[in-house]
Amino acid sequence: MHHRESLLALSKDCHCGSEVRAPSLVIPLPRPAMNFTDRQLRECYESALDTLCGFPDDVRPVRALITAHDWFCLLEGPHSARVHEAIQNLLSPTLRPALRHWYRCFGADTDAQAVEFRNHLSQLAGEKL
């Protein structure tokens, strides 16, 4: 399936007013303010953020943090300081609305590991994401 078609398929049931579109021109967007204590986590996040196209601007940081989380979870295990810092940023008050938007519109049809992570975040957040 073509990249644009797969993104449109992801958003077909999303009624949040955000249109998924394939960019015709890559324009650097302002980066959301993230406070990282770990340089490698920040670099992984920024690299992931740079490669994400076609998602609404508000959910790009969420997807980039999930990517960084998954990477360091794979490399260092679920109790790594980097993994915990990624989770802390995902659950921050600044990103919470975007996290809800991500799971409402883009993160619903996922594999078992992603569902487990969503449930973990929901438990930590004290709300169903």
Answer for the pair 88, 38: CB distance below 8 angstroms, yes or no: no
Q: How is 3-68 classified by DSSP, letter by letter? A: HHHHHHHHHTT--SSPPP---SS--PPPPP----S-HHHHHHHHHHHHH--SS-TTTHHHHHHHHH
Q: What is the pLDDT along the chain (129 residues), one digit of tens a residue?
A: 333 443 344 334 333 444 444 444 444 445 556 789 999 999 999 999 988 888 888 899 999 999 999 999 999 999 999 999 999 999 999 999 999 999 888 776 678 888 899 999 999 999 898
Judge whether 24 lies within some domain: no
Among candidate residues 40, 84, 76, 47, the one with its CA nearest the CA of residue 64: 47
Instruction: Using a cut of 0.85, tell me whether the model's pTM lies above it.
Output: no
- Domain annotation covers residue 17: no
* Structural domain range at position 46: 38-129
Q: Is 115 a domain residue?
A: yes
Which amino acid, one-letter code, is at 77?
A: G
Tokens of 106: 């883009």
- The whole-number pLDDT of residue 7 equals 39
